[in-house]
Amino acid sequence: MLRYLKRLEDKDVALNRSMIPLGSCTMKLNATAEMIPVTLPGFSDLHPFAPADQTTGFKTLIDRLSQWLQAVTGFAGVSLQPNAGSQGEYSGLLAIRAYQEANGQAHRDVCLIPSSAHGTNPASAASAGLRVVVVTCDHDGNIDLADLVAKADQHADRLACLMITYPSTHGVFEEQVMEICRIIHARGGQVYMDGANMNAQVGLTSPARIGADVCHLNLHKTFCIPHGGGGPGVGPIAVAAHLLPHLPNHPLRDDAGPATGYGPVAAAPFGSALILPISYAYIRMMGADGLMRASEVAILNANYVAARLRPHYPVLYTGVHGMVAHECIIDCRGFMAEAGVKVDDIAKRLQDFGFHAPTMSFPVAGTLMIEPTESESQAELDRFCDAMITIRHEIADIAAGRLDRADNPLKNAPHTAREVTADVWTHAYSRQLAAFPLPWVAAAKYWPPVKRVDDIYGDRNLVCTCAPLEAYARAAG
């Protein structure tokens, strides 16, 4: 079993091998010390509906964690029930709707969402029965204030809320954020802050400070719960005092929310409670000063990457002082005309260096969004930047005709061990360049297990990977 698991692990690029610079995803260190409590039977063997008098320890942990998250957000109350950021969005929007209904404003059903928003924002708004109206962004990536005022005025009578991500998914601290909140409040709307980018705020500012009414946090981003395999997650919501009566609750546990709440959004009263000790341990071990320092280093690291890459790749959006927040978007759209290179080719080529690709084509098609997080050392940031710069030189070599336009290491990436060691090698560049593009790559070579998958073919053609029916018949016979 152990060997099987190890074999699976070897096929993967995970955080125990190299940084995963996925923008908006905050792939930070999941410290072993934080992970150990998940295996303790006192946590792992507890049934979600165990009687309250048998779960007082867990309840203490839940209460303390809730208080800390209140302090982090500046809000008056927290619900740990939502199992994902997206579920937090849905829960927070329901809180807004319940509040407005309680105040005779049930007709408010318009939700403004900037065009840069994460796809879960409009999906959650639609699920909560809201009509989505998109607000455009200006050429600096900020919300277009004129368009915001126009849309807010146009829908003032029916304006339920604005969903805003701060810092934005463009990787910039939107300077007008407080003015934006005032514009919405002046028209009777509420402000939902998507807190997935909280890693740039903790200890430095807060959703309450900027004037929002409710936010979700991704404990599986900012607060160290591992993610990327599809869950489980924790997407708690934090709310201002006026929304406290409208948090989710649970019919089987009185202490899971206010009696006036709208009911559960998850099956279990405290959601994915088993993984809460991870975030608890992180916050407890870091302390308030440590959390603030993490935010500072996360922002510093992103700016370091942006500064090292800027001579080679355009950095798409920056604030007025030329700085980014905790992530940066680099523009790869020009390489198509220059060398026939797509952003996918760069993402695949990074595998030959042993790196997971950054977020691709979100929130802007043809770009890469890089979020290093505070977990990475300068040496690791330099390794990543060196790989990116080497790839940029390869693109220049293609443009200059030094590498073939069709048969080059970018178009053929990633290169598998079987391909590189085959008796026949027909490419117009060397095997060394294919597999060991920089000296340090050989020291801990990651061998991609498969070559490139044809994404578009896969999206358009249903391919059944299960065994044919005869196999079951044979097994039964």
Ligand X SMILES: *Cc1c(COP(=O)(O)O)cnc(C)c1O
Q: What are the residues whose beta carbons fall under 8 Å from the beta carbon of 399, sequence distance 6 or more? A: 338, 339
Binding of residue 235 to ligand X (CB under 6 A): yes
Name the minimum Å distance from CB 227 to ligand X. 7
Sole window of 46-54, 84-92, 93-101, 177-185 interacting with ligand X (rule: CB under 6 A): 84-92
Binding of residue 326 to ligand X (CB under 6 A): no
Name the minimum Å distance from CB 439 to ligand X. 35
**Residue (163 or 387) nearer to ligand X, CB:** 163
Closest-by-Cβ residue to ligand X is: 85
Sole window of 46-54, 81-89, 127-135, 271-279 interacting with ligand X (rule: CB under 6 A): 81-89
Binding of residue 170 to ligand X (CB under 6 A): no
Nearest to 203 by CA among 222, 189, 182: 222
For the chain, give the longest Cα–Cα distance. Answer: 76
Is 223 within 8 Å of 78 (Cβ atoms)?
A: no
Name the minimum Å distance from CB 192 to ligand X. 11
**Residue (79 or 169) nearer to ligand X, CB:** 169
Name the minimum Å distance from CB 26 to ligand X. 8
DSSP string, 58-108: HHHHHHHHHHHHHHHHT-SEEE---SSHHHHHHHHHHHHHHHHHHTT-TT-
Other Cβ atoms closer than 10 A to 253: 17
**Residue (120 or 412) nearer to ligand X, CB:** 120
What is the distance between the alpha carbons of residues 169 and 119, in angstroms, rounded to a whole number?
11
Binding of residue 414 to ligand X (CB under 6 A): no
Name the minimum Å distance from CB 143 to ligand X. 15
Q: How many residues bind ligand X (CB under 6 A)?
A: 13
Among residues 30, 55, 73, 165, the one that binds ligand X under rule CB under 6 A: 165
Q: What is the CA radius of gyration of the chain?
A: 24
**Residue (196 or 305) nearer to ligand X, CB:** 196
What is the distance between the alpha carbons of residues 270 and 264, in angstroms, rounded to a whole number?
10
Among residues 55, 91, 116, 120, the one that binds ligand X under rule CB under 6 A: 120
Contact string (CB under 6 A) for ligand X, positions 199-228, x = contact: -------------------x----------
Cis peptide before 226 (omega within 30 of 0): no
Classify 367 as helix, strand or coil.
strand
| Residue 101 CB burial class (10 angstroms; 0-12, 13-18, ≥19) | middle
Among residues 96, 135, 152, 196, the one that binds ligand X under rule CB under 6 A: 196
Among residues 20, 62, 69, 84, the one that binds ligand X under rule CB under 6 A: 84
Cis peptide before 236 (omega within 30 of 0): no
Cα of first residue to Cα of last residue in the chain, in angstroms, is 28
Binding of residue 30 to ligand X (CB under 6 A): no
Binding of residue 86 to ligand X (CB under 6 A): yes
Q: What are the residues whose beta carbons fall under 8 Å from the beta carbon of 268, sequence distance 6 or more? A: 48, 49, 81
Binding of residue 116 to ligand X (CB under 6 A): no
Q: Which residues bind ligand X (CB under 6 A)?
A: 24, 84-86, 118, 120, 165, 169, 194, 196, 218, 233, 235
